[in-house]
Amino acid sequence: MGRKRITRLDLPERVYFHHNAYYYAHRSGKWENLGTDYAKAMAIWAIRIAEQCAEVVTVGELLNRYIVEVVPTKAERTQKDNLYEIRYLRAFFGEMSCTDVEAKHVAAYLDARTAKTRGNREVALLSHAFNKAILWGICKYNPCSVPGMRNKEAPRDRYVTDEELAAFRSLCPDWMKIYIDLKGLTGLRRQDMLALQWSDISEEGIVVCPIKTQTSTRKRMLISMTPELSSLLELLPKSGEYCFTTRLNRPHTVSGFQSIWKRAMTKFITTGGVRFHEHDLRGKVATDMDDPVAAQKLLGHKNMGMTEDYIKARQTEVVQPHTRKEK
């Protein structure tokens, strides 16, 4: 094992940033200078890992190959999430042989994780890695494929009322007010909203290739232009390629967006509001639409079941009180 990491948790195992340079700690104890450029350093690291992966034995080595060959094919945010998820998986399974991992070990991992939902995401990644391992000839069995091998998750049931949204919106900067209104019309995911460019917009509507499908189906969607949508887009300053930009005309990053959202949400809570998340606005769009089929298409769900889960979890069933009979 390399020395315990206390900074730069985004770096792969055995890669460290020291004195303005990246280093790879070989198992032999030798430290190899990978240079000062992050991209070039990661390229050299990938070569070193590929050399080790000729005969993958442990789960840790499998995950190294997964980082090199699979993670880069995913969306940028997913890549970052995967690297953090792999750290937890490596700590538990890293030294185990791939052929020794059984369903009982995966179940023990899920039981040990206090963050139950996050544990499910980590096991989903591990399952994908084992599927790759089968294709790579490393093993013949995926220990994560046993039915029911997941922690039970409570569905998000937070419905944001029109009054709540208006109160929160009033505390946001002007550009975020337009963002909220546009999300209410399109139901787009945050990453797709921040990635919108003026070249995606025409008289016909907004063309979107959801980030979740960019590395798989690359399915594109046209959100038809309406007078309301057109009027809303005209409120955005065309100061760059992207629809939502910073003062320096650069696109908002996810972390930058989260910081601004958090500041507005803190103000909202101090005034008596109840916290909700940006993603809850997609649930509001689905719930507020009268047509579930149209909601499924707009939100880009693969099946109606996903859309129905969005709606059912947020709808409030109306019941009648008991009426006493007059004596």
Tens of pLDDT, residue by residue over 30-53, are 899 999 998 899 889 888 877 665
Percent of the residues in the chain that have a pLDDT greater than 70, as a whole number: 89
Do the beta carbons of residue 71 and residue 114 sit within 8 Å? no
Reply yes or no on whether the pLDDT at 157 is more than 80.
no
Pairing of strands 15-18, 21-25: antiparallel
| Residue found by looking up tokens 């953090």 in the block | 84
- The pTM assigned to this predicted structure is 0.60
The pLDDT tens digits of the residues spanning 273-313 come to: 999 999 999 889 888 887 878 888 888 777 777 777 666 55
Distance, in Å, from the CA atom of 15 to the CA atom of 33, rounded to the nearest integer, reads 10
User: Where do the H-state alpha helices sit in the chain?
Assistant: 38-52, 59-69, 76-93, 103-112, 116-135, 162-169, 174-186, 190-194, 227-233, 254-270, 280-288, 292-299, 304-312
Name the strand (E) or helix (H) holding 207: strand 205-208
The separation between CA 302 and the C-alpha centre of its own chain, rounded to angstroms, equals: 17
- Cβ atoms within 10 Å, residue 215: 12
Q: Using CB atoms within 10 A of its CB, is residue 154 exposed (0-12), middle (13-18) or buried (19+)?
A: exposed
SS3 100: helix
Extract the tokens encoding 6.
Answer: 């206390």
Q: Which CATH class is domain 162-312?
A: mainly alpha
Residues of the chain with CATH 1.10.443.10: 162-312
- Please, what is the Cα angle at 103 between 56 and 55, to 5 degrees? 5
The pLDDT tens digits of the residues spanning 246-255 come to: 988 899 988 8
